[in-house]
Structure formats: C-alpha cells, structure tokens
C-alpha cells in the first residue's frame, strides 16, 4: 500500500480526469522506477471494449515482469480505493502468457462476481499448467461457493464451483499449495467433505496445510473445532496463532475473549489487529469493555490507524449484542 500512499501524496498537481489511452500506453512503455504514475492508475481504469482491444495490441510489448508489477500494484490500489475499476484489464491479463501475470490478474478481479469470471476460474483450475495459477483460481472460487450458500447465484452454478475445488482437493497429485487453497475455498460451503478434509489437513506434516486447516475451521462455522481453535490461539507459530485468532471470531467463541484481550495488547501488529476484529465479531459486555480500554490506550498513544480498527470493532460488537438480544426475545416468545 505504500506505493499508492506515495501516489496520493505526489499526484496533487496532476489532472484527475481520465488520460487518453495513447498517453496511458506511452506511460507504460516509458515507465521507469517502481512507482506507477497517476496516468497509469487512472488511464487503465474503466476501459471500454474498444480501448481494451487497443491495449491488447500493445500489452505484449511490455516486459513480463513489468506486466506482472502493473497488475499487482493495481490490485493493491483497487482494495483501498473504489474509484478505480480494472475488471476489463483483469480479464485481458487472465489470458497472459506469463503465469505470474495470470495469477496477479485473479487478484485484480477480486470485485468481479460474474458467472463469466467463475467459469474462467474453473477452466484455470482444470487446464492451467501453472500451480500458482491453479492455486489462485481455487482460492478465488471460494467467494462463488459462498455466494451459492447465500443463494445469490444459481445452485447449479455454485455446485460447479464446488466440484472444481473438490476435484483439486481429492487429487493427491496436485501440489499441496493448490490443495490447501482448494480446502480454504470449499470450507465456505456446507458440503459433507468439509470436516473430513479439515481433519486430514490439520493432521498433515505440511505446516502451511495445517495453517489452511485452521483457516477453514473458522469458515466452516462448526463448533466441533472450537477446542482446537482455542488451543491453537496459544501456538508459538505466528501463522497458526493468527488463523486461530481469526477463527475464534468467526466461530464467535466467548471462551476466547480473555485470550483475545491479551493478544490485542501483547502480540505483534497483525495478530493484535485480528484479535480486535474477533472481539468485535463476538460482542458482549466483556468484549465491549476490552475494546473500550484498547481504544483509550490507542488514542493516548496517538495510534489513529489502530483506533479506527477498534472503533469499527466496537460498532460490530454493539451490533452483535443487539442481534443476540433479538434472538433471546424470539426464543422467549417461542417458549410462551
């Protein structure tokens, strides 16, 4: 995100209107240094079909590493600024000759929930020769599987996304990175394979497979994993501890609140932030008390970024409390 921050602070004198495609292509071909200029950020956004065809004619004149770097930096930018729309470019780059560019394009298309993209991703899981691309495609299919669970896409379409990642998981010849991303994706579903797959992954000798298993425990929202998540919150490995801390919030484990409070004070920054998020997801008086104390400390220390995260968690905790009260009232009405 640092490059984009520099862009914001350094582009004040540059016009914010969309540059011509000719100027954008010229900027790409003459790019020097690591930072993209405003011309590229703005010029590659909201491309029309005719513009994307013109860009495609010039795309492969750029060095492969430059193509990858452009796509990766635009993906970072799109995560923090919704004024940009790089979907047209992402679909172009999804067919790039370089696997690293194709994988970066999948990240760039994170806002695209179209069935057209879903079927392209399924094809990538089946036919792409690069394990990096297959892993990225499997991971991205997770959001379509979740959309299927929410009935936001057709059941038959969602099932095809499920089947694609299940095939990857069941294929022992696949690279373990591909299989673990498939596990993470399928954990967004209520499919019968989820808990046995989590158990297999958790008992793996591969460290990263175990990390994915704990990630999947939270996504699966099955309290058979509660004790495991609570135990792994104290793991000495930061990756395991991070995923367990997040899973505690997703499972809404009230038993985890004291440990989350300690992690939010004592642990490294990323784990501190995810502990705060989990406290917000769980809610309740104790979470609110801890978050309020954390907010006061962050304000006193001048850590405004952390304060924003805490205030957002406080809002979530309050909402969680209101929803819990409504559930209790509904249960009481049923009993009467």
Asked, for residue 336, whether it belongs to a domain, the answer is no
136 neighbors 109 (Cβ within 8 angstroms): no
* Residue matched to tokens 């989350």: 260
183 neighbors 198 (Cβ within 8 angstroms): yes
Q: What is the DSSP string of 270-319?
A: HHHHHHHHHHHHH-SHHHHHHHHHHHHHHHHHT-HHHHHHHHHHHHHHHH
Asked, for residue 137, whether it belongs to a domain, the answer is yes
* pLDDT for the residue numbered 81: 85
Q: What is the DSSP string of 10-56?
A: H-TTS--SPPPHHHHHHHHHT--SSSPPHHHHHHTSS--HHHHHHHH
Asked, for residue 225, whether it belongs to a domain, the answer is no
| The last residue of a domain, from among 177, 200, 220 | 220
CATH number of domain containing 313: 1.25.10.10
Asked, for residue 148, whether it belongs to a domain, the answer is yes
* pLDDT for the residue numbered 241: 98
Tell me how far CA of residue 299 lies from CA of 89, 195, 276, 290, in angstroms.
Answer: 41, 42, 15, 14
* pLDDT for the residue numbered 209: 98
Asked, for residue 183, whether it belongs to a domain, the answer is yes
Tell me how far CA of residue 250 lies from CA of 210, 221, 245, 279, in angstroms.
Answer: 18, 7, 9, 10
Same domain? 52 vs 90: yes
* pLDDT for the residue numbered 321: 63
Asked, for residue 15, whether it belongs to a domain, the answer is yes
How many domains does the structure of the chain reveal? 3
- 72 Cβ neighbours under 8 A, 6+ residues apart: 104, 107
Same domain? 138 vs 150: yes
Tokens of 146: 């979740």
> Cα(334)–Cα(271) distance, rounded to whole angstroms?
41
Same domain? 171 vs 216: yes
Give the pTM. Answer: 0.89
> Cα(298)–Cα(305) distance, rounded to whole angstroms?
9
Same domain? 139 vs 106: no
* pLDDT for the residue numbered 331: 52
* pLDDT for the residue numbered 30: 94
| The last residue of a domain, from among 220, 254, 287 | 220
Q: How far apart are the first and last CA of the chain?
A: 55
How do the pLDDT tens digits run along the chain, 336 residues long?
Answer: 444 445 444 444 444 678 999 999 999 999 988 889 999 999 999 999 999 999 999 999 999 999 999 999 999 999 988 889 999 999 999 999 999 999 999 999 999 999 999 999 999 999 999 999 999 999 999 999 999 999 999 999 999 999 999 999 999 999 999 999 999 999 999 999 999 999 999 999 999 999 999 999 999 999 999 999 999 999 999 999 999 999 999 999 999 999 999 999 998 999 999 999 999 999 999 999 999 999 999 999 999 999 999 999 999 999 876 665 555 555 555 555
* pLDDT for the residue numbered 8: 47
Asked, for residue 335, whether it belongs to a domain, the answer is no
* pLDDT for the residue numbered 267: 82
Q: For residue 235, give the 3-state DSSP assignment.
A: coil
Share in percent of the chain as helix, strand, coil (round to 5): 75, 0, 25
Residue 86's domain spans which residues? Answer: 1-112
Same domain? 107 vs 138: no
Asked, for residue 120, whether it belongs to a domain, the answer is yes
Same domain? 182 vs 248: no
Helices 131-149 and 155-170 cross at an angle (nearest 10°) of: 140
108 neighbors 86 (Cβ within 8 angstroms): yes
């Amino acid at each position: 995100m640092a490059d984009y921050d520099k862009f914001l602070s350094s582009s004040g004198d540059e016009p914010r209107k969309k540059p011509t495609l000719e100027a954008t292509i010229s900027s790409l071909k003459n790019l020097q240094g690591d930072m993209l200029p405003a011309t590229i950020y703005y010029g590659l956004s909201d491309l029309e079909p005719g513009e994307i065809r013109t860009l495609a004619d010039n795309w492969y004149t750029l060095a492969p590493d430059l193509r990858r770097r452009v796509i990766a930096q635009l993906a970072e930018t799109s995560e923090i600024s919704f004024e940009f729309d790089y979907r047209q470019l992402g679909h172009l780059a999804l067919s790039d000759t370089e696997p690293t560019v194709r994988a970066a394009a999948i990240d760039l298309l994170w806002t695209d929930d179209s069935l057209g993209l879903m079927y392209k991703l399924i094809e990538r899981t089946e036919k792409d020769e690069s394990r990096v691309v297959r892993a990225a495609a499997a991971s991205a299919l997770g959001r379509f599987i979740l959309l299927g669970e929410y009935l936001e896409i057709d059941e038959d379409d969602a099932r095809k996304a499920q089947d694609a990642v299940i095939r990857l998981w069941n294929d022992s010849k696949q690279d373990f990175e591909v299989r673990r991303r498939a596990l993470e994706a399928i954990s967004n579903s209520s499919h019968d394979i989820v808990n046995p797959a989590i158990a297999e992954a958790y008992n793996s000798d591969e460290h990263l497979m175990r990390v994915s298993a704990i990630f999947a425990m939270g996504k699966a929202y099955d309290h058979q994993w509660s004790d495991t998540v609570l135990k792994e919150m104290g793991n000495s490995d930061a990756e395991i501890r991070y995923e367990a801390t997040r899973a505690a919030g997703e499972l809404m484990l009230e038993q985890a609140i004291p440990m989350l409070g300690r992690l939010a004070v004592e642990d490294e920054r990323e784990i501190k932030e995810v502990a705060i998020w989990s406290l917000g997801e769980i809610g309740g008086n104790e979470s609110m008390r801890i978050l309020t104390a954390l907010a006061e400390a962050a304000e006193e220390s001048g850590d405004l970024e952390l304060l924003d995260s805490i205030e957002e968690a406080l809002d979530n905790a309050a909402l969680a409390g209101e929803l819990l009260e409504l559930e209790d009232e509904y249960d009481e009405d049923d009993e009467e």
